């Protein structure tokens, strides 16, 4: 383990101070001023984390952090996640003050919110996997109290119970995986695991069977935590909780599965079968959830299905060895989804105003085909230019080509919608989308440069199995694009009539999961004024 350095010590002290401030705020909350301490704590943590990261990066010799100090992992992941947690906490607390004004349960809400944030902040900065797993469990238990805040609502209790079941299954997978990992490596320190993985790769030895089993358990845990199909029902049904709790869940807690994969990049990169399982699970969830999302009329439920799809895409990136993209996706999705939930109340008014101004014109398949060809040509040109400017060569490898193709297809709906607005709107939309693509690939290059790469972390991304993973990913999203195009151009056609009932029912996956789990552990729905007790683990 590295010796203590001033920049490392600064960030490590901030990593300790953040959860302590949150716990202190929970202890100091009072009935007459339930959010006073929380507001002070979130301001201090936001300023402290941003200052500590800035000082740490500036004081380091190469502008990066790749060390440990005082049991804290000091790298780009911690430097990105710790300020993110603090900033989201600041926003959610400010929103909660207004949202829960006059509610008799404000004190209880404030305390559990602070404890949840304290557990999350420990999780994102821990260098020991045992501490990370303990914070993982503590986050779930504290969040359960927030999900059941409106304890007189049966729907909230049932959804929270399903979340509790899924979380306990994920806990069992993580703790069992850690036992196998420790038995095979002799340590659970991330810094020691990185050294172990590098030495194993250098020796050419095969990954022990116990470690292979551990990687599969970690993948299952990540899928459970990230609401991947068919374990997604709790995420789409927790809308009975307060809106700021939904924002916290979708902007932070649901990302924990991806964070676990990123932390275990050194080990996961040498387990190609586990990586491919991530790709299959993530691609399937992303494609199906994106289709189901188009049938939802509730703003929050639509956002929940969007989160399922986005988490699937993040796990695909982990499965493909694109750890830097997964981290970038995690941060961007957290910011976007926090804003989306906290502004969901004005979505209906915005949509109504836009619909009064202009009615959407019918879309033809010929228009989609023309825009698709133009989008692919433009995005590939921009991608090649960004790679050349960054010094990565003027050619794209197989994985980069698939990623560029998927990015091009993602722009087609926005570009197609601009066709009916005349030449000026088409030119304006094309300019904005071009700038967005350039920014997108530019951030990819920066994330790749900043991520703490090692030879072992790149093992899977340069293996033959990675090509299969990229192929699965590409085929999945090309199929999704094709199905969505047919549904848009023929909303009453044969394909739409066949798919619509299944899409409305979410392919009946949650019903099957609920029926199976509730037979073993049915929920105890309380309809009185006393808060529900935490289910026994």
The string of DSSP letters for 308-354 reads HHHHHHHHHHHHTT-HHHHHHHHHHHHHHHHHHHHTGGGHHHHHHHH
Do 121 and 139 meet the contact criterion of CB atoms below 8 Å apart? Answer: no
| pLDDT for residue 119 | 95
What does the alpha-carbon distance between residue 156 and residue 138 come to, in Å, rounded to a whole number?
Answer: 20
Kindly list the distances between the CA atom of residue 499 and the CA atoms of 249, 302, 410, 474, 493, in Å, as whole numbers in the listed order. 30, 18, 21, 22, 10
Do 515 and 235 meet the contact criterion of CB atoms below 8 Å apart? Answer: no
pLDDT tens-digit readout, 246-267 = 888 888 888 899 999 999 988 9
DSSP one-letter string for 474-505: HHHHHHHHHHHHHHHH-TTSHHHHHHHHHHHT
| Alpha-helical runs (H) found in 390-421 | 398-417
What does the alpha-carbon distance between residue 120 and residue 78 come to, in Å, rounded to a whole number?
Answer: 12
Do 507 and 293 meet the contact criterion of CB atoms below 8 Å apart? Answer: no
| pLDDT for residue 456 | 52
**Radius of gyration over every alpha carbon of the chain, rounded to an integer in angstroms:** 23
311-314: Cβ within 8 A, 24+ apart: 311/226, 311/227, 311/228, 311/254, 311/255, 311/257, 311/258, 311/282, 311/285, 312/226, 312/228, 312/281, 312/282, 312/283, 312/284, 312/285, 312/286, 312/287, 313/282, 313/286, 314/226, 314/255, 314/258, 314/282
Give percent above pLDDT 70 in the chain: 86
| pLDDT for residue 489 | 87
Do 269 and 461 meet the contact criterion of CB atoms below 8 Å apart? Answer: yes
pLDDT tens-digit readout, 440-489 = 888 877 777 776 655 555 655 556 678 898 999 999 999 999 999 998 88
358 by Cβ neighbours in 10 Å (0-12 / 13-18 / 19+) ranks as exposed
DSSP state of 69: E
The SS3 assignment for 30 reads coil
- The tokens of 271 are what? 């387990």
| pLDDT for residue 63 | 47
Give percent helix, percent strand, percent coil of the chain, each to the nearest 5.
Answer: 75, 0, 20
Do 118 and 50 meet the contact criterion of CB atoms below 8 Å apart? Answer: no
| pLDDT for residue 118 | 95
| pLDDT for residue 454 | 55
Which residues have a Cβ under 8 Å from the Cβ of 513 and sit 6 or more positions away? 230, 231, 233
Q: Using alpha carbons, select from 416, 414, 469 the residue that is nearest to residue 437.
A: 414
Q: What is the pLDDT along the chain (537 residues), one digit of tens a residue?
A: 334 445 557 777 888 889 999 999 999 999 889 999 999 999 999 998 888 887 766 555 554 555 666 678 878 888 889 899 999 999 999 999 998 888 888 999 999 999 999 999 999 988 899 999 999 999 999 998 888 888 777 877 888 888 889 999 999 999 999 999 999 998 899 888 888 988 888 888 888 999 999 999 999 999 999 989 888 888 887 777 788 888 888 888 888 999 999 999 889 988 889 999 999 999 999 999 999 988 887 778 888 889 999 999 999 999 998 888 899 899 989 988 888 888 876 665 665 555 555 555 677 888 889 889 998 998 898 888 887 877 766 678 888 889 889 999 988 888 887 777 677 878 888 888 888 888 888 887 777 777 665 555 565 555 667 889 899 999 999 999 999 999 888 888 888 889 888 888 888 888 888 888 888 888 776 655 555 555 444
- List strand residue ranges (DSSP E) for 45-181, in order: 67-69, 72-74
| pLDDT for residue 436 | 85
| pLDDT for residue 392 | 66
DSSP state of 394: S
What does the alpha-carbon distance between residue 452 and residue 323 come to, in Å, rounded to a whole number?
Answer: 10
| pLDDT for residue 5 | 44
């Amino acid at each position: 383990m590295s010796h203590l350095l001033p920049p490392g010590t600064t960030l490590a002290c901030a990593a300790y101070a953040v959860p302590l401030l949150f716990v202190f705020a929970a202890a100091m909350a009072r009935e007459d001023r339930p959010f006073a301490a929380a507001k002070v704590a979130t301001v201090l943590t936001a300023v402290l984390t941003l200052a500590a990261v800035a000082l740490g990066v500036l004081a380091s010799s190469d502008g990066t952090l790749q060390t440990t100090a005082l049991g804290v992992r000091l790298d780009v992941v911690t430097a990105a996640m710790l300020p993110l947690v603090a900033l989201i906490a600041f926003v959610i607390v400010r929103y909660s003050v207004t949202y829960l004004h006059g509610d008799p349960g404000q004190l209880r809400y404030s305390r559990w919110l602070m404890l949840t944030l304290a557990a999350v902040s420990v999780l994102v900065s821990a260098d020991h996997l045992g501490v990370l797993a303990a914070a993982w469990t503590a986050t779930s238990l504290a969040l359960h109290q927030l999900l059941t805040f409106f304890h007189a609502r049966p729907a909230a209790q049932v959804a929270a119970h399903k979340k509790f079941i899924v979380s306990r299954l994920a806990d069992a997978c993580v703790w069992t995986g850690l036992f196998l990992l420790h038995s095979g490596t002799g340590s659970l320190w991330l810094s020691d695991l990185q050294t172990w993985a590098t030495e194993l790769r250098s020796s050419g030895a095969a990954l022990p069977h116990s470690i292979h089993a551990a990687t599969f358990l970690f993948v299952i845990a990540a899928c459970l935590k990230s609401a991947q199909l068919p374990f997604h029902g709790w995420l789409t049904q927790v809308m009975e909780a307060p809106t700021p709790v939904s924002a916290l869940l979708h902007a932070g807690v649901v990302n924990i599965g991806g964070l676990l994969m990123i932390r275990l990049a050194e080990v996961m990169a040498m387990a190609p079968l586990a990586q491919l399982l991530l790709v299959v699970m993530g691609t399937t969830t992303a494609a199906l959830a994106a289709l189901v999302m188009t049938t939802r009329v509730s703003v929050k439920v639509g956002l929940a299905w969007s989160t399922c799809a986005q988490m699937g895409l993040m796990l695909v990136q982990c499965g493909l060895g694109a750890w830097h993209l997964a981290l970038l996706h995690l941060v961007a999705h957290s910011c976007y989804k926090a804003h989306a939930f906290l502004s969901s109340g004005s979505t209906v008014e915005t949509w109504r105003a836009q619909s009064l101004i202009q009615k959407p014109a019918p879309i033809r398949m010929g228009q989609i085909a023309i825009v698709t060809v133009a989008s692919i040509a433009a995005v590939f040109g921009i991608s090649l230019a960004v790679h050349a400017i960054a010094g990565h060569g003027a050619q794209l490898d197989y994985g980069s080509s698939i990623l560029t193709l998927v990015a091009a297809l993602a722009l087609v709906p926005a570009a197609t919608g601009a066709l009916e607005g005349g030449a000026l709107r088409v030119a304006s939309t094309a300019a904005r989308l071009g700038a967005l693509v350039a920014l997108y690939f530019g951030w990819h290059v920066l994330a790749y440069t900043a991520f703490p790469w090692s030879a072992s972390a790149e093992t899977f991304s340069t293996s033959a199995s990675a090509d299969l993973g990229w192929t699965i990913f590409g085929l999945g999203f090309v199929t999704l694009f094709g199905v969505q195009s047919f549904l848009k151009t023929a909303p009453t056609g044969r394909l739409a009539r066949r798919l619509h009932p299944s899409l409305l029912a979410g392919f009946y996956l949650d019903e099957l999961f609920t029926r199976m789990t509730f037979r073993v552990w049915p929920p105890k729905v309380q309809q009185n004024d006393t808060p529900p007790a935490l289910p026994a683990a």
